[in-house]
Amino acid sequence: MKKVDYIIVGFGIAGLCTAAQLRSRGCSVVVIDSRKQSATSISGGTIHPVLLRYYNKVWLGEEFWAYAKGFYTTLENQLETSFIEIKELMRPFDSNQERILWQNRRTEAFWAHYLNPLDDSSTKFSGIRTPHGYGTSDEVWRFSPPKLLMAFKKMLQKEQNWIDAEIIAQTIDQLRDEIRTLKIDAKHIVLAQGHNQLIWPKSGRKDNLIALEAGYSPIVAKEGEYMIIESPELKLDVVLKGKFFIIPLGRDKYQVGATYKQDVNVAGEDLGRKKMKEALDELLTVPYKPLSYWTGTRPVTKDRKPILGLMSNEASLYTINGLNSRGLLMAPLLSDWLVAFMIDGKALPAEVSINRFTVSSVDHI
């Protein structure tokens, strides 16, 4: 039986970043995951620290952004794979008022860093209606999550630190049994399964409205619908953010989306497609052809903050979850916090600690 320091169950961006952080600390790591697509693998791959459409600041956005840029650049070098593809965003204005608001925001030191001066002299954005002009930002990256996941997975496979298996466990005993059948043992286990995670502490705090109770999960599955289009005449080479993202994929193909359903069991696929088509028809002056539609499911907490921390002292079981649509931005620093907590005993920020949901004793699972 192979023995390692850590087993990570799940290989989205949270699992990948946690594995990378542990390896950088000299820990031996095995990742267990199935062939099923993760939310990361089908995401648009954009990372940015602010919401330009409404000029909102992302929680700790600047801190996450600064860390993520260095982390991904280092990872590119380590994996000898280029997956960072675009470093610019274009936002067409819906009205002259939006244009004025962009200019006014640029007078603030914070926003001046993220909003470029307006320049309507460029003709690089052909095929797009911009009657009120547009703004650009260099503080947006787009990379290919599939390239990143595949490169890291190949490295683990080469080292025989990857197990292709699906773990479905509702209790710690079931989790141990399933891992045991894979002929692997570890001092510590980290669950990074997103909305597929079924093991959660059962005891909750009565004074907490979002407390965990028996059989309750703090994670809500939030489903987003996307569309892939082909448009040889568009020639867009930056990320466009209008009502929806339009993200260049290469070879005249673009990803459009996403629309979000609050309940994944409510039929609304046709409505989502209709909204995306209407937005494209309003924005584009060149023809396009829809090629495919697909959905991705993200793990969201009730308070919209990630969950990190210790699930069980006895089993040395940890979790990193609830990254929502900010996973690519937040996962590098969140995983650094989790690893510092696991190895150094450094306290986690209260905003992301699982302790905000559970009582101090978390072994009654």
> Domain limits of the chain?
2-43+146-215+303-356, 89-137, 219-301
Express each pLDDT in 27-61 by its tens digit.
999 999 986 656 665 677 888 898 887 788 899 99
CA 121 – CA 59 distance, rounded (Å): 35
Rounded to the nearest integer, the mean pLDDT of the chain is 87
Give all strands of the β-sheet with 134-137 in edge-to-edge order.
134-137, 89-92, 239-241, 245-250, 253-261, 219-230, 289-301
- Name the band, by pLDDT with cuts 50, 70 and 90, for residue 123: low
- Model pLDDT, residue 52: 81
Q: Say whether pTM exceeds 0.85.
A: yes
CA 184 – CA 179 distance, rounded (Å): 6
- Lowest-confidence range among 107-116, 180-189, 197-206, 227-236? 197-206
Q: Is the pLDDT of residue 208 over 50?
A: no
- Helical spans, DSSP H, in 254-298: 269-283
Dmax (CA) for the chain in angstroms is: 66
Residue 33 pairs in a beta bridge with: 164
- Name the band, by pLDDT with cuts 50, 70 and 90, for residue 209: very low
- Model pLDDT, residue 119: 82
Q: Mention every residue, 6+ apart, whose C-beta is less than 8 A from residue 309.
A: 318, 319, 338, 341, 348, 352, 353, 354, 355
Q: Is the pLDDT of residue 360 over 90?
A: no
Would you say the CATH fold of 219-301 matches that of 2-43+146-215+303-356? no
- Name the band, by pLDDT with cuts 50, 70 and 90, for residue 214: very low
Q: Is the pLDDT of residue 285 over 50?
A: yes
- Which CATH number is correct for 219-301, 3.30.9.90, 3.40.50.720, 3.40.50.2000, 3.30.9.10? 3.30.9.10
- Model pLDDT, residue 37: 58
Q: Is the pLDDT of residue 99 over 60?
A: yes
Express each pLDDT in 326-348 by its tens digit.
899 999 999 999 999 999 999 99
By C-alpha distance, which of 279, 343, 287, 333 is closest to 310? 343
- Model pLDDT, residue 174: 94
Neighbour-count burial for 247-274, b at 16+ CB within 10 Å, e otherwise: bbbeebbbbbbbbebeeeeeebeeebbe
CATH code of the domain occupying 2-43+146-215+303-356: 3.50.50.60
Q: Is the pLDDT of residue 302 over 90?
A: no
Kindly state the tokens that stand for 34: 């199935």
